[in-house]
Structure 1
Amino acid sequence: MPLNLLISNNPKTIEAVKNKEPCDVALSLESALIKAKHKKYDVVISDGFDASEFFDNAVNVKDYLKNAASDKKIKVFKQEVISVWSVKGGAGKTTVVKKLTEMFDKNIKILVIDFNFQDGGSDLSFLLDLPVIPHIGMYLKERTKESFFKNLIEYSPNISVLQAPPKLSFVKDIKPEDVENIIRFARSAFDVIIFDLPNKADEIVSTVLENSTKKIIVASGLVSEARRIKELDSDFLIVINSSNRQWKLYYKDFNCIAIKELGKILER
């Protein structure tokens, strides 16, 4: 029989979960972490907060009860922070970001964060036909959690966007700590966070990559790209957005998939 752990101090929630199947109960996250050191739990059920930062097998209590009521197997979804990068412009990076958002189940809450800053507006804003405001520059005026959520655009019922501003001057003072705060705020409400990154290497890009669970480089199939990627000291998945046969020489050096195989990212 599976052994689950419920993190809750609500008597009604505890009763509802235990009526479905036996489980251990932790009244706080601290208590849950201690219990998890001594026992291996199949599912960790959290009541009213996101525990995926601490447990790979965490599920929200509402989802648990809904699935249990319909006798469905509880599906644990690990929260993902996915960065999409390229070593040159025009590789099709923004198109890959859009395709990725459309591949997830409609019950998965997704936030797309556009760090591809440029005067005149970003490719993603034009591709999704987003309004000019709000944008990340408006969040940076206050740098609060409330401001973060206020300046998101709801693109669809399960997809929101924190878009790049129309002018570089709006983000001239963005710092690595701003990036870390944005990720922290996003993780409190979204299952998947996808970054559209510029084709350059700076401290902002480095901070995103350091905080990512999956790192993707989109390549257009040029040999010069392959040579640059070989110099990178990180574990990237390379998405080849080209049929250039010369790239086959580098397949043995990289973890590569073709653009038509993009769905494999969700399986990894």
Structure 2
Amino acid sequence: MLSPIAYKVKGVLKLNLLVSNNMQTVQKVREYESCDVALSFTSALIKIKNKRYNKIIIDNIDIQVPGAVSVRDYLREKVDSTSDVKVFKQKIIAVWSVKGGAGKTTTVKRIAELFNKNIKVLIIDLNFQDGGSDLSYMLELPVIPHIGMWFKEKTEQSFLNALIQYKPNIFVLQAPPKRNLVPHIDKQDIETLIKYARKRFDVIIFDLPNEYSKVVESVFENSTKRIIVSTGLISEAKRIKELNGDFTVLINSTNKSWKPFFADFEHYEMKDIKKVLNGAFL
């Protein structure tokens, strides 16, 4: 019997391990989610000793593993869980504000929590500042892991290792506690992060720094929804008008004097935040 396995470790998004030497079975399981594959008992034993897995899936191989499931039961569970689910179009949501103090990070948290528990959400925090970001404090995240750890290798596995599980369906790639832990980030880095994230998440939400930069521009270019959080000041409206592309403005203010300044934009008050997502899987 193989040794018992710790299935839950906060901060790491773990793969499943499929024990099978049937390539058709491997392809079928991978249609639902990524997994490591062991072709034999010996191979499985080596992998389990060196890596923690979320679930062990066994295909007609005579071994006993605590908590393991058969391929048949695994596939049945996946079919049952998706049979009544509507098609969900993957979303990349950029959240930005012209200035600090507008409530951007709180908005990111609210949007992530609006999606139902069957939707896998990733928040990527690009607010790099010494002492840690507002999001890290708001969600009470541990100091590590963080995005700076991904930058050391920039591999898919280091990306997975840098994620923190905040809720069963919400993960966070948090900003580093010090700015110098990420000396440089460019358009290619943004596109690589999105590529890895799209393989495993239905919704990717970027919490962006207030200053407009090439990084912010790159996230906007790759987003399906661009949200600007504003306190309703005329100075903010003027800056937003200078931007290219389509934006939805969320007004975080109880003062109604903002309305004439934002009439040219698609806009909602913060109390109507659900309308920004058009009710998708909320």
TM-score, normalised to structure 1, is 0.75
Deviation at 1:98, TM superposition (A): 0.6
Q: Please give the root-mean-square deviation of Cα atoms over the aligned residues, in Å.
A: 2.4
Report % sequence identity: 54
Question: Who is 2:32 aligned against?
Answer: 48
The separation in 2 between residues aligned to 1:228 and 1:192, in whole angstroms, is 28
Question: Who is 1:227 aligned against?
Answer: 238
Number of residue equivalences: 216
Deviation at 1:195, TM superposition (A): 0.4
- Cα pair distance change 1:227/1:65, threshold 3 Å: same
- Cα pair distance change 1:175/1:251, threshold 3 Å: closer
Deviation at 1:167, TM superposition (A): 0.8
Q: 1:244 corresponds to which letter in structure 2?
A: N
The separation in 1 between residues aligned to 2:270 and 2:78, in whole angstroms, is 33
Question: Who is 1:117 aligned against?
Answer: 128
Question: Who is 2:110 aligned against?
Answer: 99
Question: Who is 1:35 aligned against?
Answer: none
The separation in 2 between residues aligned to 1:161 and 1:89, in whole angstroms, is 21
Question: Who is 2:48 aligned against?
Answer: none
Q: Is the 8 A contact 2:268 2:276 kept in 1?
A: no
2:250 pairs, out of 232, 239, 243, with 239
1:248 pairs, out of 234, 244, 259, with 259
The separation in 2 between residues aligned to 1:230 and 1:187, in whole angstroms, is 31
Does 1:79 pair with 2:118?
A: no
Question: Who is 2:176 aligned against?
Answer: 165
CA offsets 1:169-197 (integer angstroms, 9 cap, x no match): 01112221111100000000000000000
Question: Who is 2:209 aligned against?
Answer: 198
Deviation at 1:11, TM superposition (A): 8.6
The separation in 1 between residues aligned to 2:203 and 2:152, in whole angstroms, is 25
The separation in 2 between residues aligned to 1:94 and 1:263, in whole angstroms, is 16
Question: Who is 2:226 aligned against?
Answer: 215
Q: Is the 8 A contact 2:237 2:262 kept in 1?
A: no
- Cα pair distance change 1:162/1:66, threshold 3 Å: closer
2:272 pairs, out of 255, 261, 264, with 261
- Cα pair distance change 1:142/1:168, threshold 3 Å: same
Deviation at 1:243, TM superposition (A): 2.0
Deviation at 1:242, TM superposition (A): 0.4
Deviation at 1:267, TM superposition (A): 1.3
- Cα pair distance change 1:61/1:233, threshold 3 Å: farther
SS at match of 1:261: helix
Q: 1:47 corresponds to which letter in structure 2?
A: E
Question: Who is 2:153 aligned against?
Answer: 142
TM-score, normalised to structure 2, is 0.71
Please list, as runs of the form range in 1=range in 2, the aligned pairs for 1:183-194 lying within 5 A after superposition.
Answer: 183-194=194-205
Deviation at 1:47, TM superposition (A): 2.8
Q: 2:160 corresponds to which letter in structure 1?
A: F
Deviation at 1:150, TM superposition (A): 0.5
| Residue ranges of structure 2 left out of the alignment (5+ in a row) | 1-22, 35-74
SS at match of 1:95: helix
The separation in 2 between residues aligned to 1:12 and 1:195, in whole angstroms, is 33
CA offsets 1:77-107 (integer angstroms, 9 cap, x no match): 0000000001111100000001111110011
CA offsets 1:53-100 (integer angstroms, 9 cap, x no match): xxxxxxx997655454xxx4x401000000000111110000000111
SS at match of 2:119: coil
Moved over 3 A (4+): 9-14, 60-68
